[in-house]
Amino acid sequence: MPKKSYIGEVLRNTMDKTVVVVISRLYQHPFYKKTLKRTIKLKAHDEKNLCNVGDKVKILESRPLSKTKRWTVVQLLTDKTEKSEKQKQG
């Protein structure tokens, strides 16, 4: 069975080697047809403490690393700090 993966945004990075990633999805209610937004928060392992708040990351399911941590940051997709530096320069 393949491991699950999600793309989300880093919400908090106050813990050592751990980030909280928020994953948002839109779905349509089966009867009322209204579009609803659901979010989940997952704790993910960040071995090198590279992630900052606002970064887009890809997380992959892993073995249990602690009581609530079962995900690992695989890839840093967009870096929030690089965008802010470019806006200040240009």
**What structural domains does the chain harbor?**
5-89 (2.40.50.140)
Non-local (6+) Cβ contacts of 57 within 8 A are 7, 8, 9, 10, 19, 21, 44, 51, 73, 74, 75, 76, 77
Query: Are 57 and 45 a contacting pair, CB within 8 Å?
Result: no
- The 10s digit of each residue's pLDDT in 35-77 is 999 999 999 999 999 999 999 999 999 999 999 999 999 999 9
Provide, rounded to the nearest whole percent, the portion of the chain with pLDDT above 90.
Answer: 86
The pTM (predicted TM-score) of the whole model is 0.84
